[in-house]
Amino acid sequence: MRVQDIQSVVDLLKLAKIGLEEKKEREENELEALDAVEFNLPENLNGVKPLISVDGSYAFLFSFLGAETWIVMFRIATTEYKIEIKNGEIHYCMNASPKVYDHLNVISFNEIILASQPKVYSKTADIASNFEGRRSNIFASNIMSYLEDLTLDKISKTRKNCILLKDGALLTFKALERESIYRNILSNCRENNIMFAGVSKSTSTHLLNDFYTDDYFLKKYYDKKYANLTYVPIPEELIKKQTKFDIWGDVHFAKLHKEALKWFRVDIAKEMDYKDDLFSSIAAYSMIKLIPGYPIGLIETHKVAKSVRDFKESYLLELLESFKKLGLDFKDVLDGAVDIDGRQYKSFHEILDQI
C-alpha cells in the first residue's frame, strides 16, 4: 500500500469524524425539544388491575405459488394475569387459563377466490401487492391483525375494570378501513373502565432520527439521562408523517424498568385520562428479571401464539387426512405444493405414508 493512499484515507476519516461530531450536536439539540416524564410504580401493587394481553401468529401450511394461493393457520392467544404480594415480593399469578382461537383459511391473490371471501381479504390483497418479495407475509400479517382486532373488540365488550394490551402499535392501513371496529373498541373501553394500549416488541420507525430506529435512539441518548421509569410522548406533527396509517392511540416510547433492555413503543388509546396510571400499571407487570421492562402478559401470550408454528406438522397431517376423507386427490395437492420460498416439499410424501 502506498503511503499517499493511506494518508488520503486518514484525511477522509478525519472529515467523517467532524461530520459525526456535528451530527451528534444536532441530535442532542433535537432531544432537548422532547419532553420526558418520569413516573413511579403504583403505591399499592395489590390494587393494580388485572392484565389481559392479546397476540397472534400464523403458519403457512401449503404454498401454491403458481396460483399465488396459500393455506394458513392463524392463532390468536390471550392471557390474563394479576399481581399478588407475598412476603414482600411481587408475584404474577394467572387469573384465568390462556385462551387460543385458531382460524384455518386461504389467502390468495386469485380474483375468483377473493370474490368469495369477506371484503377485508381483497382490501388486504391490494395493500400486499405493493410489497414485492413480501406479498404473502404482508397479506398474512394483516389478516392476523384483523383477527386480533376482532378479539380485542370481544374482550372490550365482555370484560370490565382491567388493563387490555395488544401486541403491536395501535395503527392500521387507511385502506383497510378499520375505523368502525376501533371506534367500538375505544367506546367499550370507556364504558367498561378498561385501560387500553398497544405495546410493540420492535419498531423500525425513524420519527426522531434518520439513522437510528426510535427505540435505539432513545436508549442511546436517554438511558444515561433518565435512570428511572420514563416515558416520552411523541409530538403529533411527527406522527403525521405516517400518512398511510390510521393511528388509534397517542404514541409514546417508554422505559418500563430501570434496567430495561430497550425502550418500547406504547400507544395509549386516544382521549383517555389514565396515562400516568397506565404506565405505572404496565411497569408493575414488567418486573421480570429475565426480560426487564416488557410486560409478563405479552411475554407469555407470545409464547402461546407462536406455538402454532411448533405444531405445523400435526396440522399438515390433519389437513391431509381431511383431504382423504373428502375424496380429494391429495397426491396432486402435494405434488403442486411448495414452501414459502418456492421449494417443493420433499417430506410430504413421507407424511403421506403415515396416513
- For the stretch 233-243, pLDDT in tens is 988 888 877 77
Nearest to 150 by CA among 195, 79, 101: 101
Q: What is the pLDDT of residue 354?
A: 43
Mean pLDDT of the region 100-118: 93
CB 36 within 8 A of CB 232: yes
- Which CATH fold would you assign to the domain 37-310? archaeoglobus fulgidus dsm 4304 fold (3.30.2170)
Condensed to tens digits (0 to 9), the pLDDT of residues 9-60 reads: 777 767 666 555 555 555 555 555 578 899 999 999 999 999 999 999 999 8
Rounded to an integer, the average pLDDT of 235-257 is 86
Q: Pick from 60, 40, 38, 59: which is nearest to 48 by CA?
A: 40
pTM of the model: 0.85
**Angle subtended at Cα 32 by Cα 28 and Cα 35, rounded to the nearest 5 degrees:** 135
Q: Where are the domains of the chain?
A: 37-310, 312-353
* Residue pLDDT, tens place only, 58-88: 998 887 767 788 889 999 999 999 999 988 8
Of 164, 161, 230, the closest CA to residue 197 belongs to: 164
Q: Do 257 and 292 contact (CB within 8 A), yes or no?
A: yes
